[in-house]
Structure formats: C-alpha cells, structure tokens
Amino acid sequence: MFETDQWAFSGVDGKISLHKWQKIIDLITGLFSAPSGYIVQATSKGYRVVIKSNEGGSHFETNPILSPHTPLFCKYVVQSNNIVYVNAASKSEAWNTLPEVVEDGVESYLGLPIHWPQGQIFGTLCLKDTKKTSYTDEYFELIEQLRDLIEDDLALINSFEQMREVAMLDALTNIYNRRALILLAQQKLSLAFRLGFDVCCLFIDVNDFKKLNDTCGHEVGDKALIILAVTLKAHLRDADIVGRLGGDEFVAVMQVNDKNKLNGITNKISTEYSKALVKSDICDLSLSIGYSFTESKKQSFETLLNSADQAMYKNKLSKKRDK
Ligand SMILES: Nc1nc2c(ncn2[C@@H]2O[C@H](COP(=O)(O)OP(=O)(O)OP(=O)(O)O)[C@@H](O)[C@H]2O)c(=O)[nH]1
C-alpha cells in the first residue's frame, strides 16, 4: 500500500504524470483569472507545494516543507476536510491576521481537500487572489471536477503500488522475492561496473531447517524465516538488496568498500539470528553463509550468485564435518 504519510513526489516521479497536474493548475488559474494556484500535500510533517501555477504570482516554492504549525489557509481545509472559500480576507477578523493575508496580500482564497482512495487527506487544491472575488456555482462545480481528476490519479498510484508489492515482495517475509532480487541485483551490478565499485553477494541458508518444521511445525518454521528476514534487514544497510530465493535460502547483494569486513558481517548475522530466535522461544538454528565478489570484468548476477552458493555449500559441509 502507498505510504500516505510520506512525501509522495519529491521532484519528478515516474509513477504519475505531474505534467498533467501542472496543466490542471495552469488551466484553473487561467479560468479563474487568479494570480496563483497550488496543489499542496499535507502530512504529519507539514505542508509541501507539489505543483504551483506558472503564472508568476506564486508566493510558495515547490518542495520546501512548511512546518505543520504554520498558520495557512490550507491548514484549515485539511483540518475541516471541507472546502474553504474566503473572498475578502482583509475584512474578516477570522482571517486577516494570517501571514498570507498580512505579508502576501492574499484577499481571496479557495481551497478544496484532495483525498487518497481510502479517504485520508492527501492535501489541497487551492487558488489565491490579491483581489476580492465572487466565484459562481459553476466555478465551484468545475474546480470540484478537476479535484476529482487528481483523486483518480492518486487511486491509480495506489493500485500501482499494491501491484508492485504483490509482484516484488515475498508474501511470507515481506522482503524481495526471487524475481525482484535478480532484477535489482542485475541493476546494481551494471551500476557497479559503470561507477567502479565492488559488489558482494551473500548466500544464507538455514541449517537443519526441515528438522524444525518436522519437530515444531510449519508455523514455527515460518516464524524462523520471518525472523531471519528481519535480522538481515536490521544488520545490513538500507541500500543493500535483501531477498528470499525460496525455502530457507536468502540472498543479500551489497556494495563493499572493505572486503576484509565480510567475515565480521556474517558472524554478526549468525549471532544476532541466534539471539532473536531465543527471544522468540524458538530453538537455536545455525546458518551457513557463503559470499562472492564481483571481478573486474563484467559478469552476470547469475555467475555471482552461483559462486556465493558454492561458498555457502562449502561452509555447510565444514559445519557438518565439525558436528
Ligand atoms: N515453514 C516453512 N518451511 C518451508 C518454506 N519453504 C520451504 N520450506 C521447507 O524448508 C525445508 C528446507 O529443507 P532443506 O532444503 O532440506 O534444508 P535443511 O533441512 O535446512 O537442510 P540443510 O540445508 O542441509 O541443513 C523443506 O522441508 C521445505 O519444505 C516456508 O515458506 N515455510
């Protein structure tokens, strides 16, 4: 699901054509003969102008974030979840102390709430004028229709995000599935060859996992897999690609600056996994971990993965021998 309390568009976003929203704002400001129009997003962190009209009367820049405590007309739209229309702000005691009125000379404000498909507020669609206005019912109907077009786009992004999650995430552990992992890892390798950094592929396999399923049940087995995914996410960096290949096999693909640190990282993962299992009252499970590094010449992710798999297998055999 789309994270509705996050800033939705920082700059141009491929998921939606902000160009279309720009056209809507320019069209409205033109039709209403208003000097400025905006689409503003509101989150718990404050307000951010996503689109402003190109007409030149805009006082707020796109992208800078205004604190949630800033007294703004938009804030009243969001709080009331209703249309706010003020046509002669300087004459109204309720509005004439707002900085937008005192400092920017706004006399007329019309703002409508924009909603995410589940009904939460996305932000506002608003128009400001330095003159008194008297918009007719037709104007209201028109701006409401245009607001609905923006809401249709938000519904589209939301379903796109849901589909993306279904297609890319492993349903049990919520980390990347095999397909997404391979795709993203291949992209990381291309970048690494272009920019000249080293990439490491970690192959992680749970030892005697079948035994856990057989003795404690499939549900406990599932829990142990979820804990491994959480442990990997917690002890690797955000930029690392962490995925489940299938069964009890997990893979992490990461940029490395110091190859000597890898043993420390794999030991840390193993000890933290044991600790997390104990915390959840699951009997201790050990991990076999192998890794491989990119070579200077171009190579496919498949080759890198196979080398890491072989290294993991060696590690597993040595553990079995030591038993
Ligand atoms: N609970 C649970 N078990 C799964 C899932 N996917 C695969 N498995 C089981 O994981 C087990 C993996 O078994 P093996 O590949 O033999 O691995 P192992 O028992 O860890 O043996 P070694 O790797 O040799 O230590 C199989 O019994 C699968 O049925 C899952 O999503 N949940």
Which CATH number is 195's domain given? Answer: 3.30.70.270
Residue 70 sits in which domain range? 18-162
Residue 56 lies in a domain: yes
Q: Are residues 145 and 210 in the same domain?
A: no
Q: Domain of 33: which CATH number?
A: 3.30.450.40
- Indicate the pLDDT class of residue 319, thresholds 50, 70 and 90: confident
Residue 7 lies in a domain: no
Closest CA to ligand 1's atom 5: 247
Q: Are residues 182 and 275 in the same domain?
A: yes
Q: Are residues 63 and 109 in the same domain?
A: yes
Closest CA to 47 of 111, 130, 106: 111
Residue 10 lies in a domain: no
Note the pLDDT tens digit of each residue in 24-54: 999 999 999 998 999 999 999 999 998 999 8
The one-letter code for the residue type at 266 is T
The pTM (predicted TM-score) of the whole model is: 0.68
Closest CA to 40 of 73, 1, 2, 88: 73
Q: Are residues 264 and 153 in the same domain?
A: no
Residue 205 Cβ contacting ligand 1 at under 6 Å: yes
Structural domains of the chain, count: 2
| Ligand 1 atom at shortest distance from the alpha carbon of 214 | 27
Residue 274 lies in a domain: yes
Note the pLDDT tens digit of each residue in 200-236: 999 999 999 999 999 999 999 999 999 999 999 999 9
Residue 209 Cβ contacting ligand 1 at under 6 Å: yes
Residue 279 lies in a domain: yes
Residue 2 lies in a domain: no
Q: Are residues 99 and 227 in the same domain?
A: no
CA of 76 to the centre of ligand 1 (A): 56
Residue 172 Cβ contacting ligand 1 at under 6 Å: yes
d(CA 225, CA 242): 13
Residue 256 lies in a domain: yes
Q: Are residues 272 and 304 in the same domain?
A: yes
* Pocket probe mutation, ligand 1, options 169, 213, 316, max atoms within 8 Å of Cβ: 213
**What pairs with residue 51 in β-bridges?**
39
CA of 172 to the centre of ligand 1 (A): 14
Looking at 114, 130, 162, the residue that finishes a domain is 162
Q: Are residues 91 and 149 in the same domain?
A: yes
Looking at 162, 190, 209, the residue that finishes a domain is 162
Complex ipTM value: 0.94
Tell me the average pLDDT of the chain.
90
Q: Are residues 203 and 300 in the same domain?
A: yes
Residue 309 Cβ contacting ligand 1 at under 6 Å: no
Note the pLDDT tens digit of each residue in 146-192: 999 999 988 888 888 788 888 899 999 999 999 999 999 998 998 89
Residues 6 or more apart whose CB falls under 8 angstroms from that of 149 comprise 24
Q: Are residues 122 and 225 in the same domain?
A: no
